[in-house]
Chains A and B, each alone.
Chain A
Amino acid sequence: MKHIKFAFNIFNNKLFTNFVLMIQYSAALCICFIMISQYNAANEKAQVFKGLSDIDGGIFSSDYFEFTGNHVLDEIEGNYDVISASLFLFDIDILAFDNEFFSYFHPNINQGKWLSEVEKSADYLPAVLTRSVFGLGLNDIIEVSSRFDYNKSVKIKIVGIQSTNLSIDLNVGGTGITSSDIVQSDSKPRLIVDREAAIYHIGSDYEKITMSSLILTNDQETISNLRNFGYFRSFNEIYESGIEDRNSRVLFFLPFVILLLAVSISGLIGCTTLAAIRNMKKFATLMMIGFGKSDIAKIMVFYLMIISIYSSLLAIIIYFLLINSNIPLLHSSSMLIKMNSFVMPLIFLLTVIFTVFIPLNILKKQQLIEIIRREFY
Chain B
Amino acid sequence: MKRIMRRYYTEAKYAKLLGKKIAWITSGGPVEPLIAMNIIPIYPENHGAMIGASKLGGKMSEFAEGLGYSQDVCSYVKDDITSSITKESPVPGGLPEPDMLICSNNICGTVLKWYEIQARKFNVPLFIYDTPFVHTEFTDEAREYVNEQTKEYIRFLEKHTGKKFNYKKMKKVGHLSLEAMRLWKAVLDTAAHKPSPLTAFDAFFHLALIVTLRGKKVVVRYYKTLLKELNERTAHNIGAVDNEKYRLLWDNLPIWFRMRWLSDKFASHQAALVADTYTQAWCGVIDLIDENDFLGTMGEAYTRIHLNVGVDQMADTIKTFIKQYDVDGLVMHSNRSCKPYSFGQYDIQKLIREMDIPVLMIEADMTDDRKFSESQVETRIDAFMEVIKQRRK
Same complex:
no
